Each structure stands twice: as structure tokens, then as C-alpha cells.
Amino acid sequence: LKEYRGKRVGQALLASVLDDLPEDAHYIYLNSQIDAVGLYAKFGFTIEGDQFEEAGIQHFKMVKTA
């Protein structure tokens, strides 16, 4: 939602989700909208593969390994 952009809500949510993962979670992936790549990169995710369209929006698959 636009009114929450820039308020670090996404960072807080992502940090909470990552903290709640089981210890044996060694490979995590997600489909990131282009504008959110920087957010996920701050948490150690890297782009894997080519840009693609999902629901009419451009994305990258991003992965994080332990």
C-alpha cells in the first residue's frame, strides 16, 4: 500500500518472517517485483534467472541460501 511505503514496514515484516523460519531452512526463494529487489537484497537474497512477468508485473526470482 502506497501510504506505508518508505516507513520500513516491509523490512520489519520480512525480518520477522526470516526470524521465524525453522533452523533447517537452507534454501529460500521468492518472486520479487522489480521495485522490491533492493529490499530483498538487503536481507541477503540474490537474483536467480531472467526477469519474467507474473500477474502483469515484472519480477525476478530471488534466492537466499544458508
Q: What are the residue boundaries of the structural domains of the chain, listed by start? A: 2-65
> Which residues 6+ apart lie within 8 Å of 53 measured at CB?
59
Mean pLDDT of 34-51: 97
pTM of the model: 0.87
Question: For 11, left (φ over 0), alpha (ψ -120 to 50), or beta?
Answer: alpha
Q: What is the pLDDT of residue 20?
A: 96
Residue 6 pLDDT level (bands cut at 50, 70, 90): confident
CA distance 45 to 25: 14
In this model, does residue 1 exceed pLDDT 80?
no
Domain 2-65 has CATH 3.40.630.30: yes
Q: What is the pLDDT of residue 19?
A: 95
